[in-house]
C-alpha cells in the first residue's frame, strides 16, 4: 500500500510548523508596507516558503512564471495586431512546454518503466524528485495565457504581481487551483479589510482543525489496517479501513483548502470554494460538482468545452467525458491505479448521463445517497492503493471473498475503539454542524457579545489543540501535496 516516506512526512510536518512561525512575520511586514510593495512581499516570502521543502525546484517555478508571463504578453500583442494565427501558435507552444515539464518530472519514471516492461529493455529510470505542488501551479500558470487569449482577462503588466499569483503560499502546495481570471483584479486592486481578515482567521483555524484533529486521527486507523496485510483482513476490518481513508482524504484536503481560503482572505484575496459537503451527494454527478471543485472547473473550462463539450451530439459528448476523466485520473499520479480510478468514475458519469440519473430520481433519497456513497467508497480503494493486485485483494476482503471471514477480535476492537470518532467524522462531513451553529447564533442574536465570545473560544480551542497535536505527534501526513 502506498505511503509517504519518512523524508516526505518530515518535510510536510516542518512546513506546517514553519507556517506558524512564518505567518505572523509576513502579515506584519505585509500590512506595514505600502500597497505597491505588497505583491513583492507575497512573491518573495512565497518563494522562501516553497524553498523550505524544495530549494532546487524554486528555479523550475521561476521558469514557469517567466514562460507563462511572456506567453501572455506575446499572445496579447498578436491579438491586438489581429494576428490570431501567431497568437494561437504562441499559446500552443506555452501549453506544450508547460505539459512537457509536468510530464518529465511527474511521469518519466512511469513511462520508462512501462516501456521497459513492454519491450524487454532495461533503460534506467530517471528517478526525478517530484516538485511539490507542480500539478497545481502548472495548471494555474497555464490558465493565464489561455484566459488572455480568450479575452477573459487582461494581460498582467507586472511580473512581480504575476509571480505572486503563481507562487501564492496559502494555496501553493495543494490548491485549490485558482484560475487567473478569478483573481486578476485582486492582484493589483484588492482592498484588505478587518472583516475579511477576521473571517480569514476563523476559516484558517477551522481548516487546521479538520486537517490535524480529524484527518490525522482517523488516518492512523487507516495506517494501522494497512500494516495488517490484505490477505488476512476480515470484511469488517476492511470496511473500517476504507471508511477511515474516506474520511481522512476528505478532511485532509478540505481542511487544507479551508486554510488556503482563510489565508487568502487575510491578504485580501477571495478564492472560490473547493468543497461543498460532497458526502451528502445523491449521485456521482452531484459528487463531482461538490468535490475538488477547482479541478473539475479547470478541466471543464480548459479541456471539456474546447473539445466540444455537449454541443456536438451525444457520441462526441461521451468521448469528451472519457478524455476528461482519463486525464483527471492520471493527473493525480503516475500510476495505473489513478488512471483506473479516473476511468471508473468516467464510466459511471457517462452511464448517469445516458440513463442512470433518470432511474435514480425515482428512488427514495436515502437509497440515492447510499448508491452514491457506496460507489465513492469503492472508488477510494482504487485511489488509495497503487498496486492493482492489492486493489483486487482489498475489494475481495471487503466482500468476504478472501477466506478471512467477516470479523475477528481485532475487527471488533477497531470498531468499538473508533466508533465515536467515526460518528463525529460522519456528522462533521455534513452541513449539520454549520446548521447547528447558525441556529445557536440566531438564538443569541440579541446577545452579540456572548455569540462572539463563544465563537472565539471555540476557534481558540481548535487552534491550541491543533498546535499541541502538531508539536507532540510525529504522524502528520498530507495526502494531496504530492499531486
> Mind telling me the catalytic residues?
332
Greatest CA separation found in the chain?
76
In 3D space, the residue among 463, 472, 477 whose CA is nearest the CA of residue 202 turns out to be 463
Give the separation between CA 428 and CA 431, rounded to whole angstroms.
7
Please tell me the chain's helix, strand, coil percentages from 3-state DSSP, rounded to the nearest 5.
75, 0, 25
Length in residues, the chain: 483
Q: Positive or negative, the Cα torsion across 344, 345, 348, 349?
A: negative
Nearest to 172 by CA among 39, 47, 5: 47
CA distance 248 to 270: 26
Tell me the CA distances in angstroms from 132 to 53, 278, 281, 296, one per residue in order.
8, 26, 31, 21
Q: What is the 3-state secondary structure (H, E, C) of 270-293?
A: CCCCCCCCHHHCCCHHHHHHHCCH
Alpha-carbon gap, residue 418 to 412, rounded angstroms: 10
464 CA to centre of own chain: 25
CA dihedral 156, 159, 161, 165 (to 10 degrees): 90
- Residue 477 sits at φ, ψ, to 5 deg, of -75, 160
CA 160 to chain centre: 26
Torsion angle of alpha carbons 279, 282, 284, 287, nearest 10°?
A: -40
Q: Are 481 and 174 in contact, with CB atoms under 8 Å apart?
A: yes
138 vs 96: CA distance, rounded Å: 11
Please report where in the chains the cell 512564471 appears, as a residue.
65
Helix (H, G, I), strand (E, B) or coil at 305: coil
Amino acid at each position: 500500500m502506498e505511503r509517504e516516506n519518512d523524508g516526505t512526512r518530515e518535510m510536510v510536518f516542518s512546513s506546517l510548523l514553519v507556517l506558524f512561525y512564518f505567518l505572523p512575520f509576513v502579515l506584519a511586514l505585509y500590512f506595514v508596507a505600502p500597497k505597491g510593495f505588497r505583491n513583492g512581499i507575497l512573491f518573495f516570502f512565497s518563494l522562501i516558503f516553497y524553498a523550505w521543502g524544495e530549494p532546487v525546484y524554486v528555479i523550475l517555478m521561476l521558469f514557469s512564471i517567466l514562460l507563462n508571463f511572456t506567453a501572455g504578453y506575446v499572445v496579447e500583442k498578436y491579438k491586438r495586431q489581429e494576428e490570431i494565427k501567431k497568437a494561437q501558435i504562441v499559446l500552443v507552444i506555452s501549453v506544450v512546454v508547460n505539459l512537457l515539464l509536468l510530464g518529465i518530472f511527474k511521469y518519466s519514471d512511469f513511462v520508462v518503466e512501462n516501456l521497459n516492461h513492454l519491450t524487454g529493455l532495461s533503460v534506467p529510470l530517471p528517478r526525478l524528485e517530484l516538485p511539490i505542488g507542480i500539478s497545481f501551479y502548472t495548471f494555474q500558470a497555464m490558465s493565464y495565457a489561455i484566459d488572455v487569449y480568450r479575452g477573459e482577462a487582461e494581460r498582467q503588466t507586472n511580473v512581480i504581481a504575476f509571480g505572486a499569483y503563481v507562487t501564492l503560499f496559502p494555496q501553493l502546495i495543494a490548491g485549490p487551483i485558482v484560475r487567473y481570471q478569478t483573481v486578476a483584479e485582486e492582484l493589483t486592486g484588492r482592498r484588505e479589510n478587518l472583516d475579511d481578515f477576521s473571517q480569514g482567521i476563523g476559516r484558517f483555524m477551522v481548516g487546521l482543525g479538520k486537517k490535524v484533529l480529524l484527518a490525522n486521527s482517523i488516518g492512523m486507523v487507516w495506517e494501522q489496517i494497512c500494516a495488517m496485510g490484505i490477505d488476512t483482513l476480515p470484511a469488517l476490518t476492511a470496511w473500517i479501513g476504507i471508511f477511515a481513508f474516506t474520511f481522512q482524504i476528505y478532511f485532509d484536503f478540505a481542511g487544507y483548502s479551508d486554510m488556503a481560503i482563510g489565508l487568502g482572505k487575510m491578504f485580501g484575496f477571495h478564492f472560490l470554494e473547493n468543497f461543498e459537503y460532497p458526502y451528502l451527494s445523491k449521485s456521482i454527478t452531484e459528487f463531482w460538482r461538490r468535490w475538488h471543485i477547482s479541478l473539475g472547473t479547470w478541466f471543464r473550462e480548459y479541456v471539456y468545452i474546447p473539445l466540444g463539450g455537449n454541443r456536438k451530439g451525444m457520441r462526441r459528448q461521451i468521448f469528451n467525458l472519457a478524455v476528461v476523466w482519463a486525464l483527471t485520473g492520471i493527473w493525480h499520479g503516475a500510476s495505473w491505479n489513478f488512471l483506473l480510478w479516473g476511468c471508473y468514475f468516467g464510466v459511471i458519469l457517462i452511464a448517469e448521463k445516458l440513463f442512470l440519473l433518470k432511474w435514480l430520481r425515482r428512488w427514495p433519497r436515502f437509497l440515492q445517497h447510499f448508491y452514491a456513497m457506496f460507489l465513492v467508497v469503492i472508488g477510494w480503494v482504487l485511489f488509495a492503493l497503487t498496486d492493482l493486485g492489492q486493489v483486487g485483494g482489498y475489494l475481495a476482503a471487503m466482500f468476504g471473498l478472501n477466506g478471512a471471514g467477516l470479523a475477528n477480535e481485532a475487527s471488533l476492537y477497531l470498531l468499538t475503539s473508533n466508533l465515536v470518532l467515526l460518528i463525529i467524522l460522519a456528522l462533521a462531513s455534513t452541513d449539520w454542524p454549520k446548521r447547528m451553529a447558525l441556529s445557536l447564533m440566531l438564538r443569541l442574536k440579541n446577545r452579540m457579545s456572548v455569540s462572539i465570545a463563544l465563537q472565539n473560544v471555540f476557534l481558540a480551542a481548535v487552534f491550541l489543540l491543533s498546535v499541541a497535536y502538531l508539536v507532540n505527534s510525529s504522524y502528520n501526513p498530507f495526502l494531496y501535496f504530492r499531486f
